[in-house]
Amino acid sequence: MAFKANGTEFESQSEHQLSEMQNVAKLDMVLQSLPKIAAEISSPLTKCDKVTMICTGEGDIGVSKLTGELFTIMNSLPNLIHTMTGLDIYKNIKTI
Low-confidence ranges of the chain (pLDDT < 50): 1-4
The domain total for the chain is: 1
Residue 2: predicted pLDDT: 44
Nearest to 23 by CA among 79, 94, 87, 82: 87
Domain with 47, as residue range(s), is 2-95
Give the angle 72-81-36 at the CA atoms, nearest 5°.
Answer: 70
Q: For residues 26 and 85, is the Cβ–Cβ distance under 8 A?
A: yes
CA distances from 5 to 8, 51, 88 (A): 5, 68, 33
Rounded to two decimals, the pTM is 0.46
Q: Chain-wide mean pLDDT for the chain? A: 76
The confidence score (pLDDT) of residue 68 equals 82
